[in-house]
Structure 1
């Protein structure tokens, strides 16, 4: 009986984690009418080439002056690689199609965790924002989504700030990769900005990086998949 209960809990936790990271990212989801004098959107093949170029790479590897991908430097890479000039809103539409962008805290939880997340928002989150304000730190919401329509499928890691800015990377192919230490270090930046990162249930805490600099403070969003 005890073994069966343990297996059931493990199955529920696994389902919850898959629900959190499953996302609805899709390739070639941005299509709309073209206005006169406007640059055409990327073709499906160009979008696939762009995603492949982004896998496991960072902007500074392309000579761009930033440490993680954003709308601005992604637009610059598209211009350089495909000679296509896109408005930032259009680049943001591609990012949205890939599952990136701000989400409500309850959207980052499975249905079984939604009430726990609501309580956490009422009691724990205000203390995090007060501490961040006191230390002039930035608050980020960190998670991942699965990008479909590419082979192999890609995990897109994102950090959405409370100011509305999204920074991201597309991870190299791996089976259930841990939360990358490099991603967090780059989010803090060379200047060593203090950040408070709220991590959703995409990763159990056992797969968080260890011995991070004190300037990087991680907070787990309630998730029944934490022990998975």
Structure 2
């Protein structure tokens, strides 16, 4: 059977796709045997389609194998697969999905529900948030199965669990207002600071606590865990930082009040030689009656107040 004969008999099959390699075409023309194992998956599938089309047109497997340069058992196997409804695609290799897992589906479901419903400490484990080691201990205690932490992480990944930080910031920030402030308001502040040879300071308050600041724990994707807070020690800090990275700060034990902010501002003025433009967020203390008039009595602060709306929700 010539190449042209095969092309005519295999309508609806693109011979150029099947015979796109010179090696395959040469084997057919010279009646050499084709080792189908060395073909790429797409070429093998096209070859199977040719075999099936010839078989459906009445050609015997022996004749098909001879004309295409294939082994007779290979042709018979392909025909049998199509008759069994398996098609001409590649047979999936390797183990079936899930065949090598140590936990049964029921055990996986139980562990998943435990993680979603409770925190480790409520189950008697020495952790506040879920991590691979905590899940490993839970599996070992529940089923007596000791899994490596790497395997536990794979289970968590399959269950849609990701290590997340507990939610600590508000979601109400106004992105449009932030963009407007950064693109319009702040450039005006920069221009005026250059004109008046002033320093721009960014002010903020924070707290230092005796527990981890940003712990992570496994939870379903999109559902950050809730961390139960235990008794802790706290020290607060108010600070300013310039664009050059120069930091000035002051510690205070209680919550921020106008008197504390005023004391910090006085010390900041005393510690700087140039005029200061201090940018603060919308904390209520920053707008208190005792703070606003201060700028009228301290030369470094200029003579006007321009609150930066929208900055607090986005940056603090």
Q: Same fold (TM over 0.5)?
A: no
Higher helix share: 2
Name which structure has the greater RCO, CA cutoff 8 Å, separation 6+: 1
Range into which the TM-score falls when normalised by the shorter chain: 0.3 to 0.5
- Which is higher, the Rg of structure 1 or of structure 2? 2
TM-score scaled by structure 2? Answer: 0.32
